Chains A and B, each alone.
Chain A
Amino acid sequence: MFYRGLPLRAFGRRVRGFWLLLILLLAACAPPQGAPAPQPPSPPAPAFPATVTDDDGQTVTIEREPQRLITLAPSNTEIVYALGIGDRLVAVSDYSDYPPEAAAKPEVGYIRVDIERVIAYNPDLILATGAHRQQVTPQLRQRGLKVITLDPKNIDHLFDNILLVGRATGQTAAAEKLVADLKARVQQIEAKVRQAKTRPRVFFELDKSLFTVGPGSFIHDMIVRAGGENIAGDADRPYPQLSLEVLLQRDPEVIIITDIGPYGGETPESVRARPGWQTISAVKNDRIVPINPDLVNRPGPRIVDGFEAIARALHPEVFS
């Protein structure tokens, strides 16, 4: 390993637009009707068997509506609950603590997954992430289990993922409504951001050893969309470690800390007290904002809450 990077998220393929393309293709291939007479709208096609293509590029066919779900990441657990089918989860990943009732479910691991236990729960659908691509997903697929990998790279990709899970679980309508609501909120936030006259420089602290976010990370994407300028925007990797000299020189106007509470115990006061930090604009102007890391680290429905929190931190004046 030649540099430092946090193993938070692996790489993935985009599926945006895939479904639109598929629908157009199917429409084009549909056999011509004998009589062009106006017809009543055809009854909705049966949802199952459903065929979906996930972020691994794997095409997965699901015969019946899944009733025994397992999630391998907290973000996926949150998606399943948001679709209203949390009761179908027979087990969840470690750290699945939202919504609170998820914490009561049995756990099967996270980055390291207990394969035996997963098999023992006899799931009919498993929701994995890009982090499971090397070790876990192939093992599960070999045993004939249905696995869908979600590996979103930005908010729009996440919305596609939610629709994908909706189709795979027979919750298309709920997924469409959820995504429509989330999209509307994102648009509201972006409309407010457009009113802002400033584009503040921001330092986003993952850890007090100055790990931060760079291009290619979900959070960097959100900072830019929330009208901020990431001071690590020129880094060559998604999770770089910034040197303190560079941090001081680039003089962030806003500092967002996520290593708070149980995640590191930092507070605006402790940041303000760090030696040498008193010359930073964000410290002088009292603009150190703590944000719950679960809102920005987990690519689930709450990411919009995280997006709003970032936008508020950057432009408090337009959110008053």
Chain B
Amino acid sequence: MTAGVHGRPIPTARRRTLPAALLLVGLVVAVGLLAVSFGPVRIPVPTVWAIILNRLISGLIEPDWPPTLATIVLDVRLPRVILAGLVGSALAAAGATYQGLFRNPLADPYILGVASGAALGASLAIVALPPTPLPVSPVPALAFTGAVLAVAAVYLLGRVDHRLPTTTLILAGVAVGSFLSALNTYVMILGGNRIVQVIAWLLGGFTGATWFQVTLMLPYLLAGLLVLIAFGYRLNVLQLEDEEARQLGVDVDRLRLLLAVGGALITAAAVAVSGIIGFVGLVVPHLVRLVFGPNYRTLLPLTALAGAGFMVLADLAARTLLSPVEVPVGVVTAFVGGPFFLFLLQRRKREVF
């Protein structure tokens, strides 16, 4: 028998998991269809799908729509919905992994310094590099590099001999994060007028999402998710004391490194294309845990799925609520996620925690 977040036995979740999981898949697909069908520009839903079908199988339908509408659906809305889904999936899966890894319900994808590293990289790209009219912005590349370097620093500082204790890892993450945040603030002050661009990046969101960003993000997400799902079930064993886990034949330190790197990779890729979006990585894993139970074998894939649905829905709200003006998606995720999380917690806390 494996143990839950606080060492209590996991309720036998298997029995009810499959139908609920199928329901979740259906829900996420429905959210995706909804998000593509609606946006700040009102396009009749049949037209939206005619445009998409016509793109998939060219010549299927005689176009009776202005080309602008096709551009809106295919080049603006579709990549935006898909990117939001990928980022939501990455942040939620990374959050679930770190919560298990650190046995800490407050862990989120940014706990190892990914956000502050990425922010510093992005600020440097915006402030220090001469602005070039390149078709490819250097910002995502530097943000990604910053995130990876930050996590590497946290790993080196948090390592004790050949062990990787969670406490030192968390402390190293907090210390490196604070230090990089301070550096970032300094860079922003030096940036003068360009501070506006830095703030716009830090706020995060999917305004101006492109297919290029989707292709940039996809390989990292697939590789990272594969690692997390393939090895994540062993997080169940990591809920035990390290000694017990070792006795069960788990190489605790190697597993931690693997999962920490996998989570950092997908978080870095997400942050590089969308900036820093809070709350998804913290709340979605808990929502899924409250509904499906804390078994990491099912928790990780379901969290990745639910994160995608949650983010797509939040972004739909972000771009339609105050149309033609946008709301930062991070505001939506906090505004909706917070109360919903508390509601579920009130109902289920005695049962699960």
Contacts and interface: CB of A to CB of B under 8 A. Distances in A.
B322 A276 contact: no
Contact of B208 (A210, A232, A235, A240): A210
Nearest to B129: A265
B44 interface: no
A89 B279 CA distance: 49
B197 interface: yes
Contact of B135 (A208, A211, A249, A273): A273
A53 B211 CA distance: 55
Nearest to A250: B324
Interface in B24-63: 39-41
B324 A264 contact: no
A246 B323 contact: yes
A275 interface: yes
A234 interface: yes
Contact of A4 (B41, B135, B203): B203
Instruction: Give the interface residue-count category, chain A.
Output: 35 or more
Nearest to B77: A245
A94 interface: yes
B331 A1 contact: yes
A243 interface: yes
Nearest to A206: B196
Given A267-B133, A270-B133, A3 B327 contact: yes
Contact of A232 (B132, B193, B207, B324): B324
A209 B41 contact: no
A265 B200 CA distance: 16
A245 B71 CA distance: 9
Contacts of A234: 324
B339 interface: no
A232 to B, nearest CB: 7
A259 B72 CA distance: 24
- The secondary structure that dominates the A interface is loop
B319 A4 contact: no
Contacts of A245: 39-41, 72, 76-77, 319
A248 B76 contact: yes
A141 to B, nearest CB: 26
A237 interface: yes
A95 B189 CA distance: 13
Contacts of A208: 208
A6 interface: yes
Interface string A261-298: 11111110110010110110000000000000000000
Instruction: Give the interface residue-count category, chain B.
Output: 35 or more
Contacts of B325: 3-4, 235-237, 240-243
Contacts of A210: 207-208
A276 B319 contact: no
A272 to B, nearest CB: 11
B200 A236 contact: no
Contacts of A236: 322, 325
A6 B193 CA distance: 12
Contact of B200 (A207, A237, A243, A278): A207
A236 B41 CA distance: 17
Interface in A136-165: none
Contacts of A4: 200, 203, 325-328
Nearest to A261: B131
Interface string B302-330: 00000000000000000100111111100
A246 B327 CA distance: 14
A263 B194 contact: yes
B192 interface: yes
Given A3-B327, A267-B133, A269-B133, A275 B72 contact: no
22 contacts: A1-B331, A4-B328, A206-B196, A232-B324, A234-B324, A241-B325, A241-B326, A242-B324, A243-B207, A244-B208, A245-B40, A245-B319, A246-B40, A248-B72, A259-B197, A263-B131, A264-B194, A264-B197, A266-B133, A270-B134, A275-B210, A279-B67
Interface of A: 1-4, 6, 94-95, 206-211, 232, 234-237, 240-246, 248-249, 251, 259, 261-267, 269-270, 273, 275-276, 278-279
Given A4-B200, A245-B72, A259-B197, 14 more contacts: A3-B327, A3-B328, A4-B203, A208-B208, A209-B197, A240-B325, A243-B207, A245-B40, A246-B41, A246-B323, A248-B76, A264-B131, A270-B134, A276-B72
